[in-house]
Amino acid sequence: MAFDLERVRAQFPALEREVHGHPLTYLDSASTAQKPRVVVQAMTRALEASANIHRGVHALSIEATEAYEAARHSVGRLLGGVPAEEVVFVRGTTEAVNLVAATLGPSRVGPGDQVLVTELEHHSNLVPWQRLCAARGATLGVVPIDDQGELRLEALEALLGPRTRLVAMSHASNSLGTRLPVAEVCRRAHAVGAVVLVDGAQGVVHGPVDVRALGCDFYAFSGHKLYGPTGAGALWGRRELLASMPPWQSGGDMVAEVGLGSASYREPPHRFEAGTPDIVGVIGLGAAIEWFLALGPAAVAAHDAELLAHATEVLAQVPGLRVIGTARERIGLVSFILEGLHPHDVGTALDLEGIAIRTGHHCTQPVMDHFDVPATARASFGVYTTPAELDRLGEALLRARALLRGGR
């Protein structure tokens, strides 16, 4: 592999623990990733000497402000070298999508207009657009997927038109692992004058991202999937679009001047960051990004591809196992069902062997409806995942199948 896997694993305290007498095998990174010590240490330092940001002139406030704004530059580097002033800190992808829907949405979407989403979307990149369309008298169009979990581009072409105002799509599916053709969708959407928002919660974790090369207009991600803390994420937007958007929340730090009867607002990104933010979380996010960039996104992508290939081989040896989602381009996760067994029972049996996976609809109920399943079991990989852990998964699934089916 392109990086020292054992050295990487040694940086994660969680991997030293046992669960039910077994070494922890953590295969739930798509939900939230474990945190390396460097992130924990950066957040601890910020907590041990705390101060608010931006307005203080004393040493602790200056230090906190510098660390907070350094994280903004780190996000810019992560996304291909975009300017820091195009980076808005949010709690995560969900808040980023809601911010754009609430501010850009009303000015761009009106009666008779159309917003497009894909059938693969996480609920957080679906429900805000449902609400916007309902409030504005617009239509929500859905680009379908095929039975491999790939986006049907011919259907996209049929749906796009002069009333299409915005396209919202995932970079990669959290429930199937499908890597979507973002650049091609952006090209087609821009041809009809639509803007494109990309949910990058799963995309930014699995390899290099250059938002300008993708051609999107907004890109959002959550820090806790990128080996950082929960409650801290980022929204990147094109400068001219951010400048056209009104504030979302009001309060301190987003204002330029305030009188009793009126107020003026700061330029982006500060216009969208009202009140005291999660300073410690953002500092932790910055540390996670710098750690990830030092590891090498290209090396991460290579590791990811190796794990996916190995997992595919391992799971093929389990009788009655059906993989849900077999797109040609996928990130490091596999969703599956075992014939005759509920995914929750499978997840519980694996937990007894110290193996953590995710079970349920993964906040993508339309995807479950497409494949006519109520839920799946999902094993998702991180930079710390080893081929041996995937072997353990396969062996444990064989035992779980025998146990839950009474040896049949």
Residue numbers annotated as active site: 363
Q: Would you call 407 helix, strand, or coil by DSSP?
A: coil
User: Residues 6 or more apart from 90 whose CB is under 8 A from it?
Assistant: 96, 99, 220, 233, 234, 235, 272
Determine contact, residues 175/326, Cβ cutoff 8 Å: no
Q: What is the DSSP track for 209-255? A: --HHHHT-SEEEEEGGGTTS-TT-EEEEE-HHHHHHSPPSS-STTSE
Q: 48: which residues sit within 8 A by CB, 6+ positions away? A: none
Q: How far is the C-alpha of 75 from the C-alpha of 140, rounded, in Å? A: 31
Residue where the block lists tokens 């990149």: 125
Q: Return d(Cα 269, Cα 342) in angstroms, integer.
A: 46
On whether the CB atoms of residues 77 and 289 are closer than 8 A, the answer is yes
What do you get for the CA distance between the two ends of the chain, in Å? 39
Rounded distance between C-alpha atoms, residue 330 and residue 324, angstroms = 12
**Distance in angstroms (rounded) separating the CA atoms of residues 289 and 283:** 10
Contact 272, 254 (CB under 8 A): yes
Report d(CA 100, CA 218) in Å as an integer.
9
Q: What is the DSSP string of 118-159?
A: ETT--GGGTHHHHHHHHHHT-EEEEE-B-TTS-B-HHHHHHH
- Between the alpha carbon of residue 86 and those of residues 15, 149, 168, 318, 406, the distances in Å are 36, 33, 19, 48, 57
The conformation of residue 383, written as its DSSP 8-state character, comes to T
Q: Which single residue is written with the structure tokens 């806790």?
A: 224
Cβ–Cβ under 8 Å, residues 252 and 276: yes
Tokens read off for 146: 């095929």
Paired tokens of 222: 């959550």
Q: What does the block give as tokens for 338? A: 């075992």
